């Protein structure tokens, strides 16, 4: 956000803090990644509002406070290998790239993979790999992961994703019916099983199997 006027930047960060994003590393990462780079066209002038906005392929870019709260709940360390399911605009992956050793992000729409890949290169984010894939199956060839984040809602945490989480690993995702308010949960994999924490109510697009219609 280097080119942003100080007042807009201050308001953006204040909105994050006021909604519970208090982790200093997360706030620093979100200050470094300019959300305006990820919002194009008609909605570009609203890039710094704390609101979700439409992007291509019928998807949305999550509101900044939700990105911040999900990232905070993930408790990413500089050593972590992270899987993101649902690249979308690429904003969440870019924030994670400032915190983690490596980020793999999978997306079912080819256009979004192409556009975000170009944007990551433009921003010099060399530790992100964006791939066209059915995210409900995760990324077995790179498993296990220290952290997994899902930016689309499933009725239950998908089994293949849970299986790709390391012992001690954390997954953050929205669960619930796609037409109702969902709950953001954190799943921690322990030596003895899975621990679940409910975090906050959210609204996300549904997690769909297969590739987007334009990719088949």
- How large is the C-alpha radius of gyration of the chain? 16
Using DSSP's 3-state secondary structure scheme, residue 103 falls into: strand
Per-residue CA distances from 24 to 16, 30, 34, 84, 91 (Å): 11, 10, 17, 22, 18
Residue in 18, 62, 65, 136 annotated catalytic: 62
- Provide the strand spans (E) within the chain: 53-54, 60-61, 81-85, 102-107, 128-132, 145-150, 165-175, 182-190, 193-202
Comparing C-alpha atoms, which of 87, 90, 89 is closest to residue 55? 89
Whether omega for the bond prior to residue 116 falls within 30 degrees of 0, making it cis, is no
Which residues are within 8 A (CB) of 180 and not within 5 positions of it... i.e. 6 or more apart?
none
Structure tokens at 95: 């924030």
> Is 62 an annotated catalytic residue?
yes
Catalytic residue set: 62
């Amino acid at each position: 956000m280097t080119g942003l006027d100080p007042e807009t930047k201050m308001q953006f960060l204040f909105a994050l803090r006021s909604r519970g994003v208090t982790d200093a590393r997360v706030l620093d990462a979100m200050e470094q990644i300019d959300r305006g780079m990820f919002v194009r066209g008609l909605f570009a002038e609203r890039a710094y509002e704390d609101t979700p906005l439409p992007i291509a392929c019928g998807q949305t870019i999550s509101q900044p406070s939700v990105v911040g709260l999900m990232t905070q709940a993930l408790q990413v360390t500089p050593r972590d290998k992270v899987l993101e399911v649902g690249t979308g605009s690429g904003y969440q992956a870019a924030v994670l790239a400032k915190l983690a050793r490596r980020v793999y992000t999978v997306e079912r729409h080819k256009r979004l993979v192409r556009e975000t890949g170009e944007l990551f290169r433009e921003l010099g984010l060399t530790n992100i790999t964006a791939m066209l894939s059915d995210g409900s199956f995760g990324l077995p060839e790179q498993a296990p992961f220290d952290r997994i984040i899902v930016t689309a809602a499933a009725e239950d945490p998908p089994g293949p994703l849970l299986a790709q989480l390391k012992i001690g690993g954390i997954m953050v995702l929205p669960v619930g019916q796609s037409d109702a308010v969902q709950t953001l949960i954190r799943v921690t994999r322990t030596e003895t099983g899975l621990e679940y924490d409910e975090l906050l109510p959210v609204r996300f697009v549904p997690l769909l199997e297969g590739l987007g219609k334009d990719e088949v």
